[in-house]
Amino acid sequence: MTRYIIRRLLQLIPIMFLISMIVFVLLQLAPGDPAAALEDNPNLTAEDRARFEERLGLNDPLHIKYLKWLGNTLQGNWGISVATKRPVLDEIGSRLPNTLRLMITAQVITLLIAIPIGIVSAVKQYSLFDHVSTTFAFMGQSIPVFWFGLMLIMIFSMTLKTADGGPLLPGGGMYDLRLYDEATAPFADRLRHMILPVAMLAMLGVGTYTRYTRGSMLEVLRQDYLRTARAKGQKERRVVLIHALKNAAIPIITILALDLPSVFGGAVFTETIFSWPGMGRLFIDAANRSDYDLLMGIVLMNAMLILIFNLIADVLYAVLDPRVRFD
C-alpha cells in the first residue's frame, strides 16, 4: 500500500505542473498588469515605467515568465498581493482555516442529514416519505445556492427577531464585531455566526447526497447476503444499519472527493454573502483588483487540496472495499 501511495503522489506532480501551466497562461493573457496600476501616477516617467517592467520581467516571453514563476513558487515564494502588499502565502494562510472550518462543518451536517433520509427513503421505497424526500432533494439540487443564502438572511436575520428585538441569527461575520475581537469572541457567539453560512453551504449537497445514498442503498438491499443475514435471525434494524449501510456507504467517499471542487465554489458565494473572511472571498476580491499573483496562488492551493483529498479518498476506498486492489 505504501508503494501505491508513493506512486499516486508521484503521479500528482505532472498534473499539478499542467494545472499551473494552464492557469498561468490564462492569467497572463488576461488584461491589466502591475505596471498598468502605476499609470495613474503623474510623476512617473516612461523610463521609470520601463525600468519597473524590466525589474518585474514583464517583457519576457511567456515560457521564460512561467519558468521564473515556477522556480519562485517551488521555493515557497508565491508572489506579493498587489492590493495588500503582503506575501500571497500569508494571505492564503490567514484565510484558509476560516474556509476549511466552514466547509468541514457544512459537509458533516450534509452527511448527517442526507444519509439517514436516504436510508429511510430506500428502505421504504415508494412510500410517502420517499416521495416527499425525493421531491425535496430534487428541489435542493435546483435552487441557486446564493439565492438560498439571501433567503436565509431575509427569514432568520431580518424577519424573525429575538425577544429583545435583535435578529434571531446574525446574517454576517464570524463574531459580533461590536462586542468582541478575534481573541475575545466567545464560542457561543462564534457558533451562532456559523449557523446560517453552514446551512447555506450544506444545502448545496443535501439533495445530491440524499439521492445518492438512496440509490446506493437500493442496490445493496437487493443483495443475497442480506437475505442470509435475515435468515440467521438478525433484527431488521441491524440488517439495514450494519450489514447494508456498511457497503452502501463506501461509494459516498468517492462522491465526497469528486464533490470537493463544487464545495469550494459554493464557499465563494457563502463567504461573499455572509462577509466570511475566507479564501473564496479573497478570490473574488483578487479578481476584482486584477491581483493575479494572489489569484494564481488561490487556484494552486485549491488544486493541491483537491488532488490530495482525491488521493486520500482512493486509498480509503481500497481499504474499505477489499475487492479493490492496490495495483
Partner 1 sequence: MTTNVTYLADQEAAERDEETMLQLVWRQFRKHKMAVLGMTVLLLLIVGVVVGPIVTPYDIERSSLRERYQPPSLVHPFGTDDLGRDMLTRILAGGRISLNIGFMSMVVALAIGVTVGSVAGFYGGKVDNILMRFTDIMLTLPRLFLLIIMVLLLRGINWPYLQESGGIVAIILVLGVLSWMSIARLVRGAFLSLRQMEFVEAARSLGLSNRRIIVRHILPNAVTPVIVAATLGMARAIISESGLSFLGFGVQPPTPTWGNMLSNAQQEMLRGHMWMAIFPGLMIFITVIAINYIGDGLRDALDPRHVG
- Beta carbon of residue 178, minimum distance to partner 1 (angstroms, whole number): 17
3-class SS at 167? strand
Is residue 139 involved in binding partner 1 (CB under 8 A)? yes
Closest C-alpha among 128, 130, 131 to residue 221: 130
Q: In the set 150, 221, 311, 315, which binds partner 1 (CB under 8 A)? A: 150
**Interface region with partner 1, contact rule CB under 8 A, candidates 102-110, 216-224, 229-237, 260-268:** 260-268
Q: How far apart are CA 251 and CA 25, in angstroms?
A: 36
Closest C-alpha among 171, 166, 140 to residue 155: 171
Is residue 270 involved in binding partner 1 (CB under 8 A)? no
Q: How far apart are CA 91 and CA 284, in angstroms?
A: 14
- Beta carbon of residue 265, minimum distance to partner 1 (angstroms, whole number): 4
DSSP 181-213: -TTT--HHHHHHHHHHHHHHHHHHHHHHHHHHH
**Interface region with partner 1, contact rule CB under 8 A, candidates 44-52, 72-80, 139-147, 229-237:** 139-147
Is residue 177 involved in binding partner 1 (CB under 8 A)? no
Question: Is-contact 148 200, C-beta < 8 A?
Answer: yes
Nearer Cβ to partner 1 (254/272)? 272
Nearer Cβ to partner 1 (143/191)? 143
Per-residue cell: 168: 434571531
> 276 — phi, psi (to 5°)?
-95, 120
- Beta carbon of residue 22, minimum distance to partner 1 (angstroms, whole number): 7
Residues that bind partner 1 (CB under 8 A): 15, 18-19, 22-23, 26-27, 29-32, 138-139, 141-147, 150-151, 153-154, 158, 261-262, 264-265, 268-269, 272-273, 283-284, 287-288, 290, 295, 298-299, 302-303, 306-307, 310
